[in-house]
Structure 1
């Protein structure tokens, strides 16, 4: 059941990334945040109630609420035009929690694939904190690009592997591939979208409002 939720986490990350890039209007992104936020409330609640006290199942399911509350918070902010500072500082909480979940996947749960995936999510939620909590608007488009890409590589891909029963055999290669991908792609995007954009000789992009 969690793999179904993960599939739609990929969808909402892609849409929110497209919103930060200015490709999708903010108000049109709100419904998907509500849909996926609600799904990520139902899924872990079901998993916890049917876990029969299994600590590892409850531990894994509890992490899904971090996503649920983020997406519901985003949906409310977009719908009512709220200030994003509170959401930003919640994202700081998620960032720290994601680091802990990453460590637990590498050690207690023996799942290197999701160990690296949680590191990806920790990085993304740190960016959300910087953009929303600390108002680092220069990182908005970069954060959007990272978010949209992570929708595919940390949501869609592992969800399909889980749904087709091939994840267990590919967990280690997936971990290595995602680790290399993250460093190379997100590092390269930072140079192109942030460092080079801030250089005085860099071409100036057209000014347009991007809703966060």
Structure 2
């Protein structure tokens, strides 16, 4: 289920990115989020029940709930037309938890790719906090981050894992470089966003002065 869950999460995040771009209607995307969210809440309960009950097993399976509840929250918010502040503050909580998973992935399991992936997700959830709770107008920027992550952290890893090659040394090395490259891209987009915002503020100041 882990690989299939990642695969479906990739599809949901891909659709969410186009919703953030203003290309996809929020209500229709919301229903798909609900579908994926229900699966990623119900199935982890089952997997935990039939697991070996070791604490690291439950620790790893519990992470699926972070995604499932996020997709449910996004789905309900969009379908019902709710204010995004609740989703925003929930995303802040999840981003803090995601930092812990990033640290554990590296310190306990010595998995650099997994750790970097959790850092990516931490950043995305934090952006949802800025947008939903603090009302920052950065939807297009979040859409770029979500689009990249939908492929780089979810869809392609799921496909490679289903093909049985995800844990090979060559793929791990390649993915480390790709994840680092994505961070560089996000930094570039952030600088562009800041400069664009500054230019907009200056134009408004000029218009106000005139």
Q: TM-score, normalised by structure 2?
A: 0.90
Deviations 1:100-139 (A, max 9, x none): 00111112123221111110000000000000011111x2
Aligned length: 201
Determine if contact 1:117/1:178 at 8 Å carries over to the other structure: no
Higher RCO structure (Cα 8 Å, ≥6 apart): 1
Q: Distance in 1 between the 2:182 and 2:103 partners?
A: 17
Structure 1 residues 99 and 5, CA gap change in structure 2 (3 angstroms) = same
Determine if contact 1:36/1:71 at 8 Å carries over to the other structure: yes
Q: CA RMSD in A?
A: 1.8
Q: Distance in 1 between the 2:123 and 2:86 partners?
A: 19
Unaligned runs of 5+ in 1: 205-212
Partner of 2:77: 77
Deviations 1:124-160 (A, max 9, x none): 00000000011111x2210111011110100011111
1:30: Cα distance to partner? 0.8
Q: Distance in 2 between the 1:85 and 1:201 partners?
A: 26
Determine if contact 1:88/1:132 at 8 Å carries over to the other structure: yes
Determine if contact 2:95/2:125 at 8 Å carries over to the other structure: yes
Determine if contact 1:112/1:175 at 8 Å carries over to the other structure: no
Unaligned runs of 5+ in 2: 204-210
Partner of 2:160: 161
Partner of 2:207: none
Deviations 1:185-212 (A, max 9, x none): 11122233x123224279x9xxxxxxxx
1:179: Cα distance to partner? 3.4
Kindly indicate which of the two structures has a greater share of residues assigned to helix. 2
Partner of 1:197: 196
